Structure 1
């Protein structure tokens, strides 16, 4: 599975590693992804999502069903 958050759609970004001598080499900035199980009380089921730490905070704030619905509208949700 790719390194993509299923809620926010965060992906690895590309940038430069800059040394003290100002030499630049390519590097990747990886998102802080966690594999986490969430409980959906409406469906009485557990769902496992690969989400970023930022997405976990969003789910805690807005609730799982509202966040999943918004991600599905945005097009980032993939099961």
Structure 2
């Protein structure tokens, strides 16, 4: 499984471990990803997403439906089909 956030697109980046003697060795900075299940009351559906903690904080602030709509308007592919309720 790839370590990429489905909503923000955050992915691992590379950098250096720097020792006391200032030697540098390569390392990876991986995002804090969690698999989370969300209920969208507007569409009455459950979705499971792999999200970073920064995305989860934004979801707590705006709500899952509003955040997905905002990303859709920007043209991001979230992998979630927002169906309409009859």
TM-score normalised by length of structure 2: 0.83
Asked if 1:78 is matched to 2:84, the reply is: no
Structure 1 regions of 5+ residues with no counterpart? none
Instruction: State the number of aligned residues.
Output: 79
Q: Name stretches of at least 5 consecutive residues in structure 2 with no aligned partner.
A: 81-86
Map 1:44-59 to 2 at 5 A.
Answer: 44-59=44-59
In structure 1, how many angstroms separate the alpha carbons of the residues matched to 2:76 and 2:39?
22
Give the Cα separation in 2 of the matches to 1:18 and 1:2.
27
Which structure has the bigger radius of gyration? Answer: 2
Other-structure match for 2:40 = 40
CA deviation digits over 1:34-78, x for unaligned, max 9? 000000111211100000111111001011111112223342523
**TM-score scaled by structure 1?**
0.89
Structure 1 residue ranges, 4+ long, deviating more than 3 angstroms after superposition: none
Q: Does residue 1:6 correspond to 2:6, yes or no?
A: yes
Q: Mark the CA change 1:4 to 1:66 in structure 2 (over 3 Å): closer, same or farther.
A: same
